[in-house]
């Protein structure tokens, strides 16, 4: 290797180290705090003198006022996320099948409306959405959160799926029609299997979006037994003497499932989502 | 199996009409080729017969049944697509059995029919592969297998060979023809390649700009093209067409070109003295001669081995001849070309219609 | 006579729908219902709530509001531009085909993949002036107290931008990386043949190919960052003394903190004259190049 090549490699390495540290700082901090014993909470040390799992034990045993319903809330987060994932997939796959494959009249209008919805920042709709959920009588039920998250997940889902659906050769549908398939059979036997990779990507996207949501969960749910873990974490902020290391342990438990799911489906996510997010 | 009849069929997209009222009657068991340049409406017509395009006017019958409003799946037809349209997520076996599965046939029947079709096509060893693991020719065979398994009333082919390389195309051409001779299912085959049409068809329908120019057996179209378009479309290398004026006197008829050269005719023609005409003679119906016939200057000579193509100049008109002789053609040299008089085609230059009997 | 009847049968009966059209409508119904009940209705509801002139007077006379507008513009200007410029540079780094860089990219994506609540709260604690890890470290090294990171308007906004960039940089880097990998390799090869330096290659090959993507990303990221609620609410809560609010958090503060629902909605309506053109521009860009 020439000197020049070594220099280039060294520069890359240096940049890599910077990126590594930058990315992991808050995650490292979260982890360190979660294994710091309560007595050392305010020491601000880079590594606790006596690392401990007592905070995690508190979480698992629901051993703190803020964590009385930890398992219930973890289940709530999972339930909401899975429902949002399933409903978004149903709505987006049927809509894109109608628009892209059955070429239904007005399909272009619908996909334009979906795209416009995608460009509305969810935080801007918070107040009217809250009011409307009140009108529907869904406030303080998990369905209000589920439907809201489906509303925000499905436009992007439709946008991405439509781009993939448009790329499938139309002759496949024609061949299936001649082979005797009804539109429903084409959807089930041709469209869904061929779209499987992008459906996985979109399903993961919707799942993570719902699991990670804070604002709407915090607005639409209130009872301790109904709220998701995200809201429960936010409750720690309401007092000044919150047990921060227990909070960090809870946060670590809360962050683990989405990270794991992301890494399992990373192969689909990266190609699926980057292709759809922006077209130049 | 069934006959197919197309009666005054039209296709409009909004105000634009692309197929202008077509009549074709196809008897049971016939292999008909729709041929024409791209945009002539042949694929649209086929897709209307398949039920993939709405019929804007007229009637399509399969057997005795009017199928205008019948969905594709109930027309009892099978179609082979240009890009094969094999289901990528199914094996060859599943691809071929798909239509029977949709019709709720029992597994034994499906297996047996897939097996028989795969034996006919030599696909027996490929049944568990996926389409992406197959070569172009194999995919083409699977697409045909999918059609055969159905045992439909009619086979429809939409330019099925155009994605194959030249050598494979010739081979598949023969296979499809042999298959038809074996199964005798009524077939409608769309292509833009006139050689495919000539070699495969029982009858050819030549289409142009949304109308039928001529319907006939390959040799009828070759020997007696009904108009200039058909004459120019059928035959390779293309027919020589020379503009001129029809001259007649009591004894004989001939065509006088603008450059003042007289082209010989036999008497068997309709037409007035002084009428503007086009004189057509196929390259293979010219023979070299020492002094008789058309005086030309030899341009390019292309020996192919079996025959020799000679491109020559007839006072400004480009003329091609195909000869079995190999020698005696010198670029720049003078020679004479003698037309076989009974093979001359004469057309009205205004209407393009045939004037020879 | 049979023929005549047949020809009439051949003409398409008006008003009849094919099987495909019927199924198409059925398949569209779920989304259309969702759209009408949970997009159109709330948007309309919001627009009506935002028509009270008193709300506009209230906003105009509230010093928090004008400060919030300035904050929003500063936050967008700083966070979006730094984030996208870094993403463009880092996409070049991640385009290197090396095993360790691939591994690093897997780690690099973490901030985007995991929920923001724990990580932002982690930032919040780390930046705590009295007992946060950062100031403890500064104290140990310099024996002086570190700055009040989150208790000052400008450094608060700075930290908000930092957290925002930390969270969303991976996503935009991925997008830019996809754009960069789509540039045909032979362009670089012919630039090599022409003797271009790496910098020249960036300016004459990479940047022109990515300019369009970069502009689209800027527009989209501006719209999305405008709605970033978490980075502000969870880090500073808009404080101290409402000095770090942005439009995304201010509406919620009015509506749910102070029970002034109409004023809350009006803060969003006020942003529409800026939002709508951005939205239309973005729609056009995203629609372009898509098959009809």
Which pLDDT score is estimated for A237? 76
State pLDDT tens for residues C58-102: 888 888 999 999 999 999 999 999 999 999 999 989 988 888 998
* B170: Cα within 13 Å, side-chain hemisphere: 2
Mean pLDDT within A10-19: 92
Report the range of poorest mean pLDDT among A127-131, C34-38, C141-145: C141-145
Tokens 């082209």 -> residue: B263
State the maximum Cα–Cα separation within chain C, in Å, rounded to a whole number: 108
Q: In what order do the strands lie in the sheet with B345-348?
A: B262-264, B253-257, B240-248, B276-281, B345-348
Closest CA to A119 of C45, C116, C292, C222: C222
pLDDT category at A155 given cuts 50, 70, 90 is very high
Which pLDDT score is estimated for C6? 38
Q: Omega of the bond prior to A252 within 30 degrees of 0, cis?
A: no
- Report d(CA C242, CA C249) in Å as an integer: 10
- Report d(CA B43, CA B60) in Å as an integer: 15
Q: In what order do the strands lie in the sheet with B57-62?
A: B16-26, B4-13, B57-62, B65-66
pLDDT category at A64 given cuts 50, 70, 90 is confident
* pLDDT exceeds 90 at position A78: yes
Which pLDDT score is estimated for A1? 62
Mean pLDDT within B117-135: 91
The residue with greater pLDDT, B152 or A43, is: B152
**Mean pLDDT for chain A overall:** 88
Q: Yes or no: say if B1 and B153 are a contact pair by the CB < 8 Å rule.
A: yes
Mean pLDDT within C141-149: 81
- Check B58 against C12: CB less than 8 A apart: no
- Report d(CA B95, CA B126) in Å as an integer: 12
- Check B77 against A178: CB less than 8 A apart: yes
Q: Torsions phi, psi of B152, nearest 5? A: -85, 175
Chain B residue numbers with beta carbons less than 8 Å from the beta carbon of C18 are 54, 71
Q: Yes or no: say if C86 and C174 are a contact pair by the CB < 8 Å rule.
A: no
Which pLDDT score is estimated for A276? 52
* A184: Cα within 13 Å, side-chain hemisphere: 4
User: Is the dihedral angle over the CA atoms A132, A136, A142, A144 positive or is it negative?
Assistant: negative
Which pLDDT score is estimated for A240? 65
* pLDDT exceeds 80 at position C105: yes
H helix intervals, B216-300:
218-223, 228-233
Chain A residue numbers with beta carbons less than 8 Å from the beta carbon of C179 are 280
The residue with greater pLDDT, A161 or C139, is: A161
Q: Yes or no: say if B24 and B6 are a contact pair by the CB < 8 Å rule.
A: yes
Chain A residue numbers with beta carbons less than 8 Å from the beta carbon of C269 are none
Chain A residue numbers with beta carbons less than 8 Å from the beta carbon of C108 are 19, 23
* pLDDT exceeds 70 at position B268: yes
Q: How far is C57 from chain B (nearest CA, A)?
A: 55
pLDDT category at A174 given cuts 50, 70, 90 is very high
Can you give B192-214 as a three-state secondary structure string?
CCHHHHHHHCCEEEEEECCEEEE
Contacts of A101 (CB under 8 A, 6+ apart): A165, A168, A170, A173, A186, A187, A191
DSSP states of B59-73:
EEEETTEE-TTS-GG
Tokens of A168: 């499938």
* pLDDT exceeds 70 at position B69: yes
State pLDDT tens for residues B23-34: 999 999 999 999
State pLDDT tens for residues C6-62: 333 334 444 456 778 899 999 999 999 999 999 999 999 999 998 888 889 988 888
Mean pLDDT within B242-263: 87
Mean pLDDT within B164-190: 91
Which pLDDT score is estimated for B12? 92
Interface test with B, best of A105, A168, A180 (most B CBs within 10 A): A180
If you measure CA to CA, which chain C residue comes closest to B48?
A: C10
Chain A residue numbers with beta carbons less than 8 Å from the beta carbon of C248 are 121, 123-124
Mean pLDDT within A52-62: 82
- Report d(CA C84, CA C76) in Å as an integer: 11
* pLDDT exceeds 90 at position B168: no
User: Is the dihedral angle over the CA atoms B238, B244, B245, B248 positive or is it negative?
Assistant: negative
Q: Yes or no: say if B313 and B296 are a contact pair by the CB < 8 Å rule.
A: yes
Which pLDDT score is estimated for A41? 73
Which pLDDT score is estimated for A274? 62
- Report d(CA B193, CA B201) in Å as an integer: 12
Distance of CA C153 to the CA centre of its chain: 23
Tell me the ipTM for this assembly: 0.88
Window B:155-174, CB contacts with C under 8 Å? none
Can you give B69-127 as a three-state secondary structure string?
CCCHHHCCEEEECCCCCCCCCCCHHHHHHHHHHHCCCCHHHHHHHHHHHHHHHCCHHHC
Question: Using CB atoms, which chains have 3+ pairs under 8 A with B?
Answer: A, C
If you measure CA to CA, which chain A residue comes closest to C21?
A: A104
State which H helix or E strand residue B310 sits in.
Answer: strand B308-314
Closest CA to A147 of C224, C227, C36, C46: C36
Which pLDDT score is estimated for A275? 56
Report the range of poorest mean pLDDT among A21-25, A37-41, A155-159: A37-41
Closest CA to A226 of A92, A79, A118, A31: A79
> DSSP character for C52?
-
Closest CA to B49 of B75, B82, B80: B75
Interface test with A, best of C19, C122, C265 (most A CBs within 10 A): C122
- Report d(CA B228, CA B232) in Å as an integer: 6
Chain C residue numbers with beta carbons less than 8 Å from the beta carbon of A129 are 38, 42
* pLDDT exceeds 50 at position A278: no
* pLDDT exceeds 50 at position A167: yes
Window B:33-92, CB contacts with C under 8 Å? 54-60, 66, 68-69, 71
Interface test with B, best of A170, A175, A183 (most B CBs within 10 A): A175
Chain A residue numbers with beta carbons less than 8 Å from the beta carbon of B83 are 169, 171
- Report d(CA B234, CA B123) in Å as an integer: 35
If you measure CA to CA, which chain B residue comes closest to A179?
A: B99
- Report d(CA B2, CA B27) in Å as an integer: 8
Partner residues linked to B22 by β-bridges: B9
* pLDDT exceeds 90 at position A132: yes
Q: Yes or no: say if C219 and C38 are a contact pair by the CB < 8 Å rule.
A: no
- Check A177 against B85: CB less than 8 A apart: no
- Report d(CA C63, CA A208) in Å as an integer: 38
State pLDDT tens for residues A196-241: 989 998 999 999 999 999 999 999 998 888 999 999 888 887 766 7
State pLDDT tens for residues C159-214: 999 999 999 999 999 889 888 888 888 888 888 888 888 888 888 888 888 888 89
If you measure CA to CA, which chain A residue comes closest to B94?
A: A189
Question: Using CB atoms, which chains have 3+ pairs under 8 A with A?
Answer: B, C
pLDDT category at C1 given cuts 50, 70, 90 is very low
> DSSP character for B349?
T
């Amino acid at each position: 290797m020439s000197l020049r090549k070594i220099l280039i490699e060294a520069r890359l390495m240096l940049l890599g180290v910077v990126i590594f540290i930058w990315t992991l700082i808050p995650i490292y901090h979260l982890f360190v705090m979660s294994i710091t014993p309560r007595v050392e909470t305010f020491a601000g040390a880079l590594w606790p003198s006596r690392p401990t799992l007592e905070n995690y034990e508190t979480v698992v045993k629901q051993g703190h006022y803020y964590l009385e319903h930890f398992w219930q809330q973890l289940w709530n987060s999972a339930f909401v996320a899975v429902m949002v994932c399933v409903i978004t997939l149903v709505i987006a796959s049927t809509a894109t099948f109608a628009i892209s494959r059955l070429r239904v009249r007005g399909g272009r209008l619908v996909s334009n409306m979906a795209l416009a919805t995608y460009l509305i920042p969810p935080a801007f709709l918070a107040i009217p959405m809250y009011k409307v959920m009140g009108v529907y009588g869904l406030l303080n039920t998990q369905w209000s959160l589920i439907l809201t998250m489906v509303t925000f997940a499905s436009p992007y889902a439709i946008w991405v799926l439509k781009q993939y659906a448009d790329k499938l050769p139309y002759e496949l549908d024609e061949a299936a029609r001649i082979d005797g398939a009804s539109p429903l059979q084409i959807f089930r036997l041709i469209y869904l299997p061929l779209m499987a990779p992008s459906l996985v990507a979109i399903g993961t996207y919707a799942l993570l979006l719902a699991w990670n949501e804070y604002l709407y969960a915090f607005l639409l749910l209130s009872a301790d037994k109904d709220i998701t873990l995200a809201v429960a974490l936010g409750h720690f902020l309401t007092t000044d003497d919150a047990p921060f290391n227990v909070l960090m342990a809870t946060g670590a438990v809360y962050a683990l499932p989405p990270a794991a799911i992301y890494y399992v489906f990373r192969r689909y996510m990266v190609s699926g989502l980057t292709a759809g997010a922006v077209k130049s | 199996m069934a006959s197919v009849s197309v009666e005054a069929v039209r296709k409009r997209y909004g105000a634009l009409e692309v197929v202008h009222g077509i009549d074709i009657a196809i008897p049971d068991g016939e292999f008909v080729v729709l041929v024409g340049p791209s945009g002539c409406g042949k694929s649209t017509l086929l897709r209307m017969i398949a039920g993939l395009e709405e019929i804007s006017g007229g009637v399509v019958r399969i057997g005795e049944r009017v199928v205008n409003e019948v969905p594709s799946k109930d027309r009892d037809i099978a179609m082979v697509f240009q890009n094969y349209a094999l289901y990528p997520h199914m094996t060859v076996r599943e691809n071929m059995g798909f239509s029977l599965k949709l019709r709720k046939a029992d597994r034994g029947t499906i297996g047996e029919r897939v097996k028989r079709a795969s034996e006919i096509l030599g696909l027996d060893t490929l049944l568990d592969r996926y389409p992406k693991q197959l070569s172009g020719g194999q995919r083409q065979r699977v697409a045909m297998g999918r059609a055969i398994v159905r045992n439909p009333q009619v086979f429809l082919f939409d330019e099925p060979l155009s994605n194959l390389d030249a050598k494979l195309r010739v081979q598949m051409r023969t296979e499809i023809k042999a298959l038809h001779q074996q199964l005798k299912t009524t077939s409608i085959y769309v292509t833009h390649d006139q050689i495919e049409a000539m070699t495969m068809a029982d009858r050819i329908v030549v289409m142009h700009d949304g109308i039928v120019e001529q319907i006939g057996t390959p040799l009828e179209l070759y020997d007696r093209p009904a108009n200039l378009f058909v004459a120019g479309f059928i035959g390779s290398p293309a027919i020589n067409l020379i503009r001129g004026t029809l001259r007649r006197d009591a004894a004989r008829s001939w065509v006088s070109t603008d450059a003042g050269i007289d082209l010989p005719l036999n008497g068997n023609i309709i037409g007035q003295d002084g009428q503007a005409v086009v004189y057509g003679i196929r390259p293979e119906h010219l023979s070299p001669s020492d002094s008789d016939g058309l005086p030309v200057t030899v341009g390019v000579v292309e020996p192919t081995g079996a025959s020799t193509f000679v491109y020559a100049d007839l006072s400004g008109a480009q003329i091609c001849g195909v000869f079995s002789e190999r020698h005696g053609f010198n670029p720049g040299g003078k020679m004479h070309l003698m037309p076989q008089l009974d093979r001359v085609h004469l057309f009205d230059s205004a209407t393009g219609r045939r004037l020879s009997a | 006579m049979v023929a005549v009847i047949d020809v009439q049968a051949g003409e398409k009966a008006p008003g009849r729908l094919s099987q495909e059209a019927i199924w198409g409508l059925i398949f569209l119904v779920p989304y259309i219902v969702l759209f009408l009940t949970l997009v159109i209705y709330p948007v309309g509801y919001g627009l009506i709530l935002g028509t009270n002139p008193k709300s506009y007077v209230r906003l105009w006379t509230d010093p928090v509001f004008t400060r919030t507008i300035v904050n929003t513009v500063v936050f967008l200007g700083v966070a979006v531009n730094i984030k996208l410029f870094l993403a463009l540079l880092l996409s070049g780094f991640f385009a290197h085909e090396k095993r360790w860089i691939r591994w690093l990219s897997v780690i690099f994506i973490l901030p985007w993949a995991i929920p923001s609540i724990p990580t932002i709260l982690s930032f919040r604690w780390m930046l705590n002036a009295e007992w946060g890890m950062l100031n403890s470290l500064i104290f140990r090294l310099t024996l002086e107290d570190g700055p009040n990171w989150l208790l000052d308007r400008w450094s608060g906004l700075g930290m908000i931008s930092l957290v925002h960039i930390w969270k969303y940089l991976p996503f935009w880097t991925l997008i830019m990386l996809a754009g960069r990998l789509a540039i045909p390799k032979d362009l670089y090869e012919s630039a090599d043949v022409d003797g271009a330096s790496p910098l020249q290659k960036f300016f004459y090959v990479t940047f022109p190919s990515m300019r369009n993507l970069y502009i689209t990303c800027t527009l989209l990221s501006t719209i999305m960052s405008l709605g970033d609620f978490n980075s502000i609410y969870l880090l500073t809560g808009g404080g101290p003394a409402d000095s770090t609010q942005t439009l995304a958090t201010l509406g919620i503060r009015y509506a749910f903190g102070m029970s002034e629902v109409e004023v809350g909605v009006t803060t969003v309506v006020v942003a529409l004259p800026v939002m709508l053109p951005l939205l239309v521009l973005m729609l056009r860009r995203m629609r372009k190049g898509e098959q009809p």
